[in-house]
Structure formats: structure tokens, C-alpha cells
Amino acid sequence: MAQGPLIVQSDKTLLLEVDHPDADACRMAIAVFAELERAPEHVHTYRITPLGLWNARAAGHDAESVVDALLRYSRYPVPHALLMDVAETMDRYGRLQLVNDPAHGLVLRALDRAVLVEVTRSKKLAGMLGARIDDDTVVVFPSERGRLKQALLKLGWPAEDLAGYVDGEAHPIALVEEGWALRPYQRQAVDSFWAGGSGVVVLPCGAGKTLVGAAAMARAQATTLILVTNTVAGRQWKRELLARTSLTEEEIGEYSGERKEIRPVTIATYQVLTTRRKGTYPHLDLFGARDWGLVIYDEVHLLPAPIFRFTADLQARRRLGLTATLVREDGREGDVFSLIGPKRYDAPWKDIEAQGWIAPAECVEVRVTLTDAERLAYATTDPEDRYRVAATARTKLPVVKALVERHAGEQILIIGAYLEQLSELAEYLDVPVLQGSTTTRERERLLDAFRSGRLSTLVISKVGNFSIDLPEAAVAIQVSGTFGSRQEEAQRLGRILRPKADGRQAHFYTVVSRDTIDTEYAAHRQRFLAEQGYAYTITDADDVLGPPLPTDPA
């Protein structure tokens, strides 16, 4: 009997032998429903969770396909109790359905009467349900549609929302496919989203999520509210919509710190919508400013909590979430599932790469050894400040410079989290820095210079993690991050994955301080990329710097 690459354990952990010839095929099969937890060199650990199974179920995968993947790749017999639990967990999704009843409006209908009895007795549903119509049906207050889905998910009975959507205010939008066409996976993503009505499309950075949004707008033919991470991202959306659709300048409004335009297609920043004044959010009125037919959430994994609260009231609107990763560092993946919608489409990064739509990437971790003075400073620092001290060590500077010189002639991004470190790097390398305090005009000037090739190296802060379109960036050098953020790692790699005109490989370097918490956080950040099939090579700084120069005998 063939020895498979997977060990399936009764505690729902899966151990994948990375060097096995079937490891890649197995990884793609289990990534549909399992989340990677640890990714050391030889054996990766995944975990099966209810939310992962429900997302797989909503995306069209049934229990039989999940069980088949486990049986096909497992080295040893799979615990029968685990297979039963997988099947029963997936079967919990959709036993309760939200539907529109012609006579009673929004109702909760049970395909399993006992489940309806169980949940209606829960205090967590107090005030959300109305009169009992019959043994299998209860009225739902329309304003509670979102909060009811949140509560049912927490009770372990996620409802399938089949209640439909209002069309919103009609507005003509057409794709203008001149010199380009939707890629097959983009078309499939739109079809999957539209069939489900609302939900999340997961695609790698550089794979054209904006075009998926534009195609969804053309399908909706309605006024659209687009929420983005920052003004630069919003203006990139506007440029793409003007170039790829029939929309004109006058039809697209910007709602940001600088402008407050409400038009048939309005692009708003999360930042302005979550601005508080005297305990209230005055700009949340934008959600009700027009009869929106579609709401698009760009980088949905970053959705701020106040937007979640308001999204609970938008359940009659079609909602499209776009992201490179469903991982949220705040653990609110369940709120994305219940309020934006379940995962409707997810393309493995390596699949898209194999088709030539994103560039192949080499990922390298370069470990530097701190000087004695730096090690002493690290050892005597309070625990909460140790990551900053390790991540910003000056020992990293010559390593970064050597990497820049190694890739002379290529477009290079140097990315970090600490502004003092970035300013120091910019001065050391004599290149500009783009950070949060950089004006929108200056940001656009720097990005335009980088895109055109007039500027080959740019130091960039966390503002560069999200929604910045830099097609020619081929090298990223990461010097510090947001602790162990997996989503940030995915976004940063995504900055260099646009396919290159000459087909060359992208390079992603992470410079970390050896024997510090910097190394631990780096391992945590790399988990998501390991899940997508990217392997990190670990090298020593000396291999980058080369042998020391001989000293002058004089």
C-alpha cells in the first residue's frame, strides 16, 4: 500500500510531510477546509475547524469530498470518529435557512425541527425572532437578519441565507474588454459570488481582484459602494474602473478625508467611515445615502469593527468581500462569514502561478547576528519592547544594502513597520521613504516614479501592505513587521507577484535577528505562505554580505 504524505489525528490535527512527492497535491486538497497552524521545515501542522468546514460547504464542497481527501492522502487509517465528526459538522450548515415567505416576509425555516426548537430557546436570540408560524418556521425581524446569523453561527448552527436581495437603484455599468479579457478564474469567481448572492472571493495579490469587483458591478447594473483601505487604493480603483468599464469620471465619487462626493459609484475609505465624533460615527450615514445595489469590501480581512456593526444592517444588499487571505489577526473570521458572507471562491496561489497569471517567487529569510552591544540592549529591554529592539537592529542595514546591490536594475521595495528604522534606511541608501504622514499628492508622485522606472528603490511603511498597484516591483525586502501577522506577510509578498514582462522570478527577503523574538514572529508570519505552497530558504547574513574585505597592512 502506498505511503501517503498525511497523518490524520483524532484531535483534528493533520501532519503533512513536506518532502513527500504527493505533498503539493495533498496541500491543495486539504487547504479547502483546514488551516495551517505551524510550518517548520519538514512537517506542517494543519487543523480542521468548524468554520473551515462550513466555508468549504458554502463554497460547494461536500462532506464526501473532504472525507475522500483525508482517506486518499492519509498514511494510516483515519480515525472513524473524526470522519463522522467532519460529516456531521458540515451537515449543520444549512439545516436552518433564512428565506422570504410570501405571506410573512423574512422567516427562519428549519429542515430539522429539533434544531429550531433548540435555537429558539436560546437567550442569545432574544428580540430577533417574531411569531411562530408553524412547527418548522418562525418570523425574523428584518433588521435582525445579520445579528441573527452571527448568533446562530456562535450556537453552532450556521444558517444558509436564501432570503434574496433588493436590486437597489439601477445604474448601467458595462465591462469594456478592449485589448484584455476577464481571465477564466476571474469569471468563475464572479459566477460563484453571484450564484451565492453575497460572500468572499479569495485571490492572490496581483491576480486582479479589482477586475472581479468591476465584473460583479457589471452583473449587478446598480449603484455601488466600494470600501477601501486608503485614498491611494481608492484612486487606483477609480483608474481601473475608468479604464475597464463604461463608467465616466462624473459617475464615480470619492468619499475620503479630502472629498465627500456621493455618486452612483462611490469609493469610501475605512478610515473616514470609522472617524468618531463625540462617541458617534457621523460618516456611517453613507451606507444609507443611496439605495445601493452592491457593496464591495476591498481587503475584507481588515474590516474595522464599526463597519461590521453597520454591515449587520445591510443584509438585504449584495455584499462582495475581496481579499488575499481570510485570516484575521483579531479572530473575527466568523463575523466575515456571517455578515459579509461565506467564502464563495478561493484560488490557490500556486494554481494561478502555474497558469502564468502571477510571477513565481523565491522566499528567503536572512538571519543576522546582533553585535554584543545589541544583544545586551535586547536582553535588558522590557519584554513588550523586545520585538522593536530586535527588529530595528542597525546590523540589518548593510545586509539590506547588499541585497539592493545584488538586484541592481530591478524595482525594489524595502518594507517595515517602524518609522525611525525606515527613515534611517532611506538615509543610509539615499532613497525616498513613503509613510503614513506622506501627503496623498507626494504618495502618488513617488508611486508614479516607481511605476515608470524613474525610481528603482523605495522604502515603504505599513501603508504599502494594502491595495497599492506596483506591477513592476520584483524584489521586496522586509525588515520589520506587525509582530507575527500572517495577513501582512501575504500582502507584502503580493506586492511583487504581478507577472513580469520578461517572465522573471520575484524575490521576497525577510531580514531577521537571530536568537530573538524576531525569529519567532517571522516563523509565525510565514505560516500563511507555507499554506499556499511557498517554501522559505533560510540563509546567513554572511552569505549575502560575502567574505570580509582584507585589512590594509599599513
- For residue 552, being part of any structural domain is answered with no
Q: What is the pLDDT of residue 1?
A: 45
Cell of 299: 481587503
pLDDT at site 5:
96
Asked whether residue 400 is domain-assigned, the answer is yes
Buried b (16+ CB within 10 A) or exposed e, 122-131: eeebeebbbe
Does 132 share its domain with 24? no
Question: Where a domain ends, among 92, 125, 148?
Answer: 92
Whether residue 342 sits in one domain with residue 216: yes
Q: d(Cα 546, Cα 524) in Å, to the nearest integer?
A: 29
Q: Give the mean model confidence (pLDDT) for residues 69-96.
A: 95
Residue written as grid cell 525616498: 432
Question: Last residue of a domain, which of 72, 92, 112?
Answer: 92
Share above pLDDT 70 across residues of the chain, in percent, rounded to a whole number: 94
pLDDT, tens only, 260-277? 999 999 999 988 888 888
Q: Which of 109, 326, 106, 28 is nearest to 199 (CA)?
A: 326
Give the model's pLDDT for residue 553.
Answer: 40
- If asked whether residues 345 and 230 sit together in one domain, one would say yes
Q: How many CB atoms lie within 10 A of CB 376?
A: 11
In a domain, 30, yes or no: yes
Among 326, 352, 378, residue at a domain's last position: 352
Question: Alpha-carbon distance 350 to 530, whole Å?
Answer: 11
- Residues 183-218 pLDDT 10s: 999 999 999 999 988 999 988 877 889 999 999 999
The model's pLDDT over 516-535, given as tens digits with 9 standing for 90+, comes to 999 888 887 777 677 677 77
Position 100 pLDDT exceeds 70: yes
143 in the same domain as 17: no
- DSSP structural state of residue 176: -
Does the residue 176 lie in any domain?
no
User: Does residue 174 form part of some domain?
Assistant: no
Q: Are residues 86 and 101 in the same domain?
A: no
Average pLDDT over residues 143-158: 94
Same domain, 86 and 134: no
Asked if residue 134 is part of any domain, the answer here is: yes
Q: Note whether 152 and 229 are same-domain residues.
A: no
Order of strands across the sheet that contains 43-48: 6-8, 13-17, 43-48, 34-38
Residue 1 lies in a domain: no
The x, y and z cell numbers of residue 29, run together, are 486538497
Please report the pLDDT score of residue 481 as a whole number.
82
Mean pLDDT throughout 48-60? 92
In whole angstroms, give the CA distance from residue 194 to residue 62. Answer: 20
Whether residue 331 is found in the same domain as residue 365: no
Domain range for 535 is 359-545
Separation of alpha carbons 70 and 9, rounded Å? 11
Least trusted range by pLDDT, from 173-177, 184-188, 478-482: 478-482
Same domain? 366 vs 299? no
Q: Is the Cβ–Cβ distance between 107 and 137 less than 8 Å?
A: yes
Specify whether 509 is located in the same domain as 405: yes
pLDDT reported for residue 220: 96
Q: Are residues 310 and 432 located together in one domain of the fold?
A: no
Is residue 88 domain-shared with residue 100, that is, in the same domain?
Answer: no
Look at residue 179 and tell me if it is in a domain: no
Number of domains the chain contains:
4
- State yes or no: pLDDT of 501 exceeds 60: yes
Residue 273 confidence (pLDDT): 87
Q: What is the CATH number of the domain that holds 434?
A: 3.40.50.300
pLDDT value for 465: 53
